[in-house]
Amino acid sequence: MFQVMEQDTHPRQQARYIELLRAQPPADRLLKAGALTEAVRYLAEAGIRERYPQADETEVRVRLAERIYGRAVALRLFGPHPALT
């Protein structure tokens, strides 16, 4: 269900955090999960743009797909794009 947090989190705080999560309505938890997913995607795109400053939007999307879903899926989605060679 929940993965163990980093070892620097005191067990009491970890238990309280999980308790607070469980107390939230499912819709609120879903909204928060969506917001976290969006934030991770934004950070991944920013990392790609920093590493490949000349990349256009398509290349960023291709590289993001490869990072998230793997090379095989990116190839199925985008075909033999130069970023995948």
pLDDT digits (tens, 9 = 90+) for 62-85: 999 999 999 999 999 999 999 998
The residue ranking higher by pLDDT, 72 or 7, is 72
Q: Where are the domains of the chain?
A: 11-84
DSSP 64-79: HHHHHH-HHHHHHHH-
The pLDDT assigned to 76 comes to: 96
The residue ranking higher by pLDDT, 6 or 14, is 14
Instruction: List the structure tokens of 82.
Output: 């130069």
The pLDDT assigned to 2 comes to: 55
0.75 surpassed by pTM: no
pLDDT digits (tens, 9 = 90+) for 10-67: 889 989 999 999 999 999 999 999 999 999 999 999 999 999 999 999 999 999 999 9
